[in-house]
Amino acid sequence: MTIVVTRIDERLIHGQVAYSWSVAYQVTEFIVIDDGVAADPTQLLLLSLAVPSGKRHAILSVEDAVKYLVEQSDQEKTFIVVKSPRVLLSLIEKGIILPSINVGGMYYKAGKQEISKTVYLDEEDKSIFLKIRDHGIPCEIRTSPNDKSIDLFTKI
């Protein structure tokens, strides 16, 4: 497996992710990593329906995702999507190698500061991203594949 995109998007799989990103990066597999979603039958069904026809997918807890990512040796072009940078830091700390991280949708909540039109961070988020940077992983802000890439670290 080759991880071609790792994205933070609170909406997980939706039209833009399912189609624009999968076409731009020739994605053959989607992996959603979220403990809550993986345990919710309704969310499992809804996200499964959002995956384009002919694409593989898995909706996994963090623990199951680590096992899955370590054990896979097929030729899939994998798109990983999570809701939070905390999940990605957990994967990284468990030995999963992520070439880069795309931050596309972390939306406004009380206490969060606007970094871009679609990215709002609080101090905890910033701290997590700085730990990710310490692992040498670049993070960009980009809503769609055609948008200009902005280095997240220049904004925090």
By annotation, the residues acting in catalysis are: 14
Sequence-ordered strand ranges (E) for 1-156: 2-9, 29-33, 56-60, 77-82, 101-105, 113-116, 119-121, 139-141, 150-151
Length of the chain: 156
C-alpha distances (whole Å) from 92 to each of 2, 45, 87, 107, 129 are 16, 28, 9, 23, 12
